[in-house]
Chain A
Amino acid sequence: MSVNHFWTAFAFEPFMNALLIGLSVASVWLIAALGLAIVYGTMGVINMAHGEFVMLGAYSAFVLETVVGVPFLLCVPAAFVIVGLIGAAIERGLVRHLYKRPLDTLLATWGLSLVLIQGVRLILGPEPKNLQSPAWLNASLRVWVFELSWFRVFIFGVTIAAFVLTWWLLHRTRLGLMVRAVMQNKEMAAVHGIDAGKVFTLTFAYGAGLAGLAGSMFGAIKNVFPDMGSGYIVEAFLVVVVGGVGSLLGSLFSSIGLGEIYSVFAYFTNGTFAKFWLFLLVVIFLRFRPQGLFADAMARR
């Protein structure tokens, strides 16, 4: 990069496409953040290993596809189930014992992420793996001035579906009612016969599953490698924090806002520079609105 051609001038068609890419980025960040948002909102647990759940999702899809021969489109839901189960085991074995110490959960899950990255690296090797997706997904779609690959559209669709499903589970089912009850008051929920431990395990597993789902798709856009998760974790956290803890709708709006800001900045300058200003803006934003966009009544701080 050179200083001389640092700035890109405005041009209609590429700029409109930058806006579209913003939405696409938003969908990636949202699907990466959704599980994190639910786990933090319900349990008050900051899961630093969330990015590694994304990575595990990508590897599960890879192993299923190359070793077992499962078609890619089936690998996506399978990654959800596999990583969900891993998540349940981790909740039972580790996270459960640290509920009263939020800072310690953060650190313990970071230790866990280290173990997962290195474990995968030792077992499956450090070199990037290639996850194949059907040819039609790699074709481009062109509408008016907009141009986007079908794969991006696919991620978009899956993210919306996952969001709607999560909202439905949380607000329209008995399980969701239990989760929200535990979210508001654990003791009261226990009095009404809700087993908070079970609710937590399910929630954590569901959050991990969503990360796995995301990973199976991310792995196909880029590559599959042991520390791929760290590329999503900071953005995912910011989506949750800016959106307002415990608010699904907040996560939706903040992912769109952050994705667009990032993409527009990236259009005029470049990706890394855009990230710097995005992160800086978020810190300044939190200075004036520490509770996030949607301050939820049940926010924990």
Chain B
Amino acid sequence: MMALLELHQVTKAYDELKVVDGFDLKVHRGELRCLLGPNGAGKTTTIDLITGRQKLSGGQVSLDGTVISDWPEHMRVRAGLARKFQIPAVFKGLTVRQNLEAAFTRHLSPIRNMFVFRDRETQDRIDEVASLVNLKDRLRVRADELSHGETQWLEIGMVLTQNARILLMDEPTAGMTTQETHKTGEIFNGLKGTHTLLVVEHDMSFVRQIADRVTVMHMGRFLAEGTIQDIERNEEVQRVYLGQGGAGHHA
């Protein structure tokens, strides 16, 4: 089966320093993949390279067999990539409902959208997503009144509403309480099978809760891949993490 997202020998170098170095990755449709690695392993850079926020120095990225690595950012978004940023980015002055509605990108043209009004389909989709991310009771609230965890959920919700083919989540639990993290884990588990996700995380207990397969990066390179049990038993991974002071909660 062809992978939905495929990274082939992806490299990012600043002069001599290779932040990502010949990295390969295949994510299949309906899979939830965790990308793990100690600080500075090149995880966020990898996400930047996939979305086009940074330019590749070598290698290529393909989505469903099409090479997208020389496309501009917004074309990749339109092709089906959606990203949740490390620091939550929502429209603070708008309500939760409006945020989700803005993310529901059926039409993009300004002129076309002058004649698009809130309809049943949009409404249903928003309600569906809102209950998925525990914000059903908060639809009328302005985004800047949400707690930090809720803001993260709202952005996850926006990424979901986009109906993208693959969701890239950069540290979705950063700054959350243990309870909120657990709830986020439940959200992600609910997405398995219907959505394809690539999740960058530090928090091991969260990864244990959600991961099917885990890929570990170290110094910009592929280190290991397997189920969470495989990874936790892997001696190389243990050595890398012990050098960093254990696979604890870094955020």
Report if A and B touch in the complex (beta carbons < 8 A).
Answer: no
Q: Contact residues of A with B, CB < 8 Å? A: none
